[in-house]
Amino acid sequence: MCLDEPDQSDEERSGTVPLSLESFTFHQTLGVGAFGKVFLARDLIRKECVAIKASTKRNLTWTRSNYIERHVLKLSHESPYLIHGLAAFHTLNCVYFVMELANGGNLDHFIFNNFPLDTTTIKFITAEVICGTEFLHKKYIIHRDLKPENILLTADGHVKITDFGIAVVVSANKKTKFRCRGTPGYAAPEMVMDKEHGRGVDYFAIGVILYKLCTSTRPFPGYRISDIQHAVIHHTPRYPRSLNRVTRNILKGLMCKNQFKRLGVKGDVRKHPFFDGTNWEDVEARRVVPPAIMIADSVDLNINRTLDYAERPNRRITVDPKIFKRFSFVCPEWSRHYHPVIIKTTA
């Protein structure tokens, strides 16, 4: 995506007035990551709760990542398994992404609270993650940071992939040269070694997630990052005897060290015997009823207390402010259902 010629969406051409910090009240911090913070906020017009990710403006590399994340969030409505982007806006110091709120917690907490999981639940979760991931791949997007913490659960028990902060857009059948180490233990060997990589890195991460769903542990343990990375490159995971032959086989295929022989790159993961009986058309259409264990009480959202959110001065901006001229957008769905009073300017 060229930063010198920012994308001009239908919303921008129509003259939708962009949102600002004054459009929301902030209530609590939901998460903190390398690329920013995520807050629970509420839209002042309809009093609807949303998640807002705040990321500090920095250099050209960060700006490229901001635009890619914006790109993914704008097309996220085409898949039921991606967190949906509602809007984006920016200030002098930061960029903000407004997203739907998935208040069923994340997959890491779900595993911790509900392990051991039955086979039906494991297959259900993995199938929905695969559908969301392969939607991105069809759009030439590699997520590059799939992990349980980045897989949210909705109140009705479905999966939502989030955090596209280090995603990358590639040409068809091409690999990326953008260096990225990812999350230790989930990043594929080729990422750890700073090699060119393609969509196979996402299948490797899905293998690690599936291993954790089956065992509640990581396949590449270690106390230091260097130990974990060494294990990813050189060690073979230990497979408990409780795992049947078919499960071990799909795990070995997904976590294959050779990215060209990895299941998903070589061979269709959906056709693996592990998924025998899975109706992929129903999964794609979100018609499969979640296992009862997936439908739990929503995470308690404290909106009675207001967070005094204020930006900090940013002295690390090294990009031309004009690059963000067309950054803001409001998606048609959210504009129609959540912000019916957003003003349209005349041509």
From 4, 7, 145, 227, the catalytic residue: 145
N-term to C-term CA, the chain: 27
Active site residue 202: no
- How many CB atoms neighbour CB 294 within 10 A? 21
Is 53 flagged in the annotation as binding?
yes
Q: Six-digit token pair at 231? A: 């294990």
Whether residue 33 contacts residue 165, with contact meaning beta carbons closer than 8 Å, is answered with yes
Q: What distance in Å separates the CA atoms of residue 63 and residue 275, rounded to the nearest whole number?
A: 40
Listed residue (48, 50, 285, 289) closest to 157, CA to CA = 289
Dihedrals phi, psi of 97, to nearest 5 degrees: -115, 120
Phi-psi region for residue 32, left (φ > 0), alpha (ψ -120 to 50) or beta? beta
For residue 16, the cross-strand partners are 344
Measured between alpha carbons, how far is residue 262 from residues 131, 245, 251, 302, 335 in Å? 18, 18, 10, 44, 42
Annotated binding site for ATP: 53
Annotation: binding site = 53
Residues tagged active-site: 145
